[in-house]
Amino acid sequence: MLIGEKSIPRPLRWAMIGGGRLSQVGYKHRCGALRDNTAYQMVASAFDIDAERGRDFGVNLGLDADRCYATYQQLLAEEAKREDGVEVVSIATPNGTHFEITKAALNAGIHVICEKPLFFTTAEALEIKALAAKKGLIVGVTYGFSGHPLLMQMRAMIANGEIGDVRMVELQYTHGFSANDSADKFSEAQKWRVDPKIAGPSFVLGDISTHTFYISQLVLPELKVKSLLCDRQSFIPSRAPLEDNAMVLMHYDNGAVGRMWASSINAGSMDSQSIRVIGSRASLEWSDYNPGELKYEVQGQPNQIMHHGMPYLHESALADERLGALHTEGLAESWANIYLKFAIAIHATQQGDQTTLDNLIYPDINAGIEGVRWIENCVRSADNGASWVNYE
């Protein structure tokens, strides 16, 4: 159980790039990083494309005005001159900027925590992996739902054979917030999401399905996609070639099959991300809408609902518990869990502690690469007439 005590000897000196006052995701980063007050200390920022608004916001959050920089380039240059300069930055800017900012931060000797989808191409992601390895630095990816403790329970139960042989993986991340085009015109966050120059080669595949795809990799680390077929549509024509709906069929290397539905035009649906893993004797199902419960359904027996924080859970699920079974845990706790693991990974890297790094399960650079690879394969299939393609 986590109760906020130190996991590393002192908080890491941390800055945010992007994630400013009007951003969708910035506060989630701060909820995650600053939750325990023992893993990170926010010391600097380049919060905003609008320098003045970014500075005002940083000061309002309690930062020194002279460490609220106008640009990320200025942040990296000025912090490098200080003995107490930034050690890790979080990048919460639109997709098209992730690669250049990550590269610049690593070259400045700073660890990186970056938003998904990490970059536009696998080649870029592999280049960054090599650079991070050369510099001895961590790149973490904020798959923010992946810190929910019951996902570790799913992983442990599947590994223990409690559902039998895995036959099917059913994945969904859909909502209805782009069912019409009003946000495309008025919301800054939506405008860039449907612009391929800034969003990259996909809309919903990158924006939401990368989360669910990572969750499937977290709970099924042995399962590898062998081939897939993706059909994608732009129900709002102005979004083409980027899709607001996609359906993907997958074949895995063990003979299992999978399906992903990613959509932002699921009218009326607030948010539904779920994973159901169907085995030869039982199924497990989890949804981020009700993340404190895990369904365990054994064929021929009454269904069970496993509850977070209960002593019958696997130790890896209990290790990430914060509030206890009597209370509701949510997205803020999930973000805090992954941010804590980023901090432990960074400290272990600083100490040369390979054992800790080898045993830590968190969304690292490889998870980021796999998200980009997933998008690339889906787009290749969809743009080839929704045909089956070998997963490359």
* Closest distance of CB 65 from ligand NAD, Å: 17
Phi, psi of 236 (to 5 degrees): -95, 105
Residue recorded with tokens 């995650």: 32
- Our CB check for ligand NAD shows the closer of 20 and 309 to be 20
- 207 touches ligand NAD (CB under 6 A): yes
| Nearest approach, Cβ of residue 52 and ligand NAD (Å) | 11
| Total chain residues near ligand NAD (CB under 6 A) | 24
Residue 63 tokens read as: 């930062």
Q: Which stretch binds ligand NAD (CB under 6 A): 94-102, 229-237, 351-359, 378-386?
A: 94-102
User: Per residue in 326-349, is it b (16+ CB within 10 Å) or e — as a string?
Assistant: eeebebbbbbbbbbbbbbbbbbbb
Q: From the CB of 189, what's the least distance to ligand NAD, in Å?
A: 3
For ligand NAD, which is the closer residue by CB, 24 or 354?
24
Part of the chain binding ligand NAD (CB under 6 A), chosen from 11-19, 33-41, 165-173, 301-309? 11-19
Judged by beta carbon, residue 171 or residue 223, the one nearer ligand NAD is 171
In sequence order, the β-bridge partners of residue 283 are: 278, 297
Look at residues 110, 115, 153, 117 and name the one whose alpha carbon lies nearest to residue 338: 115
Question: In whole angstroms, how close is the CB of 352 to ligand NAD at the nearest point?
Answer: 30
Residue of the chain from 39, 69, 85, 93 that contacts ligand NAD (CB under 6 A): 93
Residue 200 engages ligand NAD in binding (rule: CB under 6 A): no
What CA–CA distance (Å, rounded) separates 183 from 171?
26
Among 189, 267, 310, 319, binds ligand NAD (CB under 6 A): 189
Phi-psi category of 349—alpha, beta or left, where left has phi over 0 and alpha has psi -120 to 50?
alpha
Q: What are the angstrom distances between the C-alpha of 2 and each of 6, 117, 310, 336?
A: 10, 29, 14, 10
Strand 293-298 to 304-307 pairing: antiparallel
- The one among 12, 34, 68, 92 contacting ligand NAD by CB under 6 A: 92
**Distance separating alpha carbons of residues 122 and 373, to the nearest angstrom:** 6
183 binds ligand NAD (CB under 6 A): no
CA distances from 391 to 37, 210, 367 (A): 42, 16, 16
Look up residue 9 and give its DSSP letter. S
Site mask for ligand NAD (CB under 6 A), range 109-138, x = bound: ------xx----------------------
183 vs 357, beta carbon nearer ligand NAD: 183
Please name the residues in contact with 243: beta carbons below 8 A apart, sequence gap of 6 or more.
Answer: 202, 203, 204, 205, 232, 233, 234, 382
Counting contacts by CB under 6 A, is residue 139 touching ligand NAD? no
Stretch that binds ligand NAD, among 19-27, 232-240, 339-347, 381-389 (CB under 6 A): 19-27
Binding site for ligand NAD (CB under 6 A): 17-20, 22-25, 46, 48-49, 72, 92-95, 97, 115-116, 142, 144, 188-189, 207
